[in-house]
Amino acid sequence: MRIRTATVAGIAALALSLTACEDGTTTVPVTTGPGTTATTSATTATTTVTTRPGSSKLTAASVRVNGSEGRVSYDVRVPQLEPGTGAAAAEFNASMRELLRGFVSGHQVGDEDPAVSITDPNGRSAVEHIGGRAVSGLLWVSFDGGGAHPWSMLASHVTDLRTGEAIGLGDLFTDSQAGLDVLAAQAAELGPKTRAGDAFDPRGASASSENFQVWTATPDGMRIYFEQGSVGPSAMGVVDITVPWSELSAVLAPGMQDVLAG
């Protein structure tokens, strides 16, 4: 399959008016690029998590985004925060939508290639954790490009609730390479204890930033998702590990553990 990148307007650009449906879902028109159609619908999840004392209550929610762009169709429920006001919630919500936009625009195909479908049939995307100082979201979609089986694609985003700014892999460590070395060592130790078992291949979890781009912050540690087929046979699907904060404390930037582990 030949892949080309298309430039489009952001999927998340909302129109001014909302139309309420009878089922309690809100349909939101979306502004997109030429030749593109899309709609979103928002429903609030049932789980509510309270942030630090004195702050407003943030709720895990999702927005359904569907439509087509070129030969790519998509129908995905994107994790969101409610209420969506405030710098942190707005940054998180826009960034999660942007992750989907990247999947769509980055997987355009030629006219001679099979059409592409991006969906989330297993509903694995989620606001994984709302802590006192950071929120983590995971976007997990199924990519079907006409092959024998669909392919899992994942992306994640972490927002600092104090500053409203993203927290990237490069922000975590005082020395980036030292941090990556610890992550690689932990992956080699924890990987065989996952679903991969003895088939876990540590070469796909070597000390390179590309191998640790999909991660979320949880109370137990840094949860890392490895791309399907990168640390073992593709048939085993996505493999994930959780590296305890205690194993990372020596290499984390000052104060970062307090931000991520809360």
Q: What is the pLDDT of residues 55-95, one digit of tens each?
A: 468 999 999 999 999 999 999 999 999 998 899 999 999 99
Question: In this model, does residue 40 exceed pLDDT 50?
Answer: no
**SS3 state of residue 90:** helix
At residue 255, does pLDDT exceed 50? yes
Confidence grade of residue 50 (pLDDT, cut at 50, 70, 90): very low
- pLDDT grade for 243, boundaries at 50, 70 and 90: very high
pLDDT of residue 262: 83
Do residues 239 and 196 make contact, with C-beta atoms less than 8 angstroms apart? yes
Look at residue 111 in the predicted model and tell me its pLDDT: 83
Least confident of 44-58, 78-92, 161-175, 216-230: 44-58
The structural domains of the chain, with segments of one domain joined by +, span 3-160, 169-261
**In the block, which residue shows the tokens 């690029």?**
33
Using only the alpha carbons of the chain, give its radius of gyration.
19
Q: What is the pTM of this model?
A: 0.80
Paired tokens of 237: 């699907």
pLDDT score for 110: 84
Rounded mean pLDDT, 148-171: 95
Q: Is the pLDDT of residue 45 over 80?
A: no
Q: What percentage of residues in the chain have a pLDDT greater than 70?
A: 79
Residue 181 has pLDDT above 90, yes or no: yes
Q: Which two tokens stand for residue 250?
A: 């020596």
Tell whether the model's pLDDT for residue 189 goes beyond 80: yes
Q: Are 137 and 157 in contact (CB under 8 A)?
A: yes
pLDDT of residue 260: 97
Mean pLDDT in residue range 36-43: 45
Query: How many other CB atoms are there within 10 angstroms of residue 239's CB atom?
Result: 25
List, in order, residues 6 or more apart from 186 with CB less than 8 Å away. Answer: 241, 243, 247
pLDDT recorded at residue 145? 84
Instruction: Tell me the CB-side half-sphere exposure of residue 252, using CA atoms within 13 A.
Output: 19
Q: Quick check: 18 pLDDT over 90?
A: no
> pLDDT confidence of 41, banded at 50, 70, 90?
very low
Q: What is the pLDDT of residue 147?
A: 75
Instruction: State residue 56's pLDDT score.
Output: 60
Residue 42's pLDDT band, with cuts at 50, 70 and 90, is very low
Out of 3.40.50.300, 3.90.640.20, 3.30.565.10, 3.40.1110.10, the CATH code matching 169-261 is: 3.90.640.20
Tokens 């999909």: give the residue: 214
Residue 28 is predicted with a pLDDT of: 33
Q: What percent of the chain has pLDDT over 90?
A: 70
Which of these, 60, 77, 170, lies nearest to 119 by C-alpha position?
Answer: 77
Higher pLDDT, 225 or 49: 225
Mean model confidence pLDDT for the chain: 83
CA dist., res. 87 & res. 33, Å (int) = 26
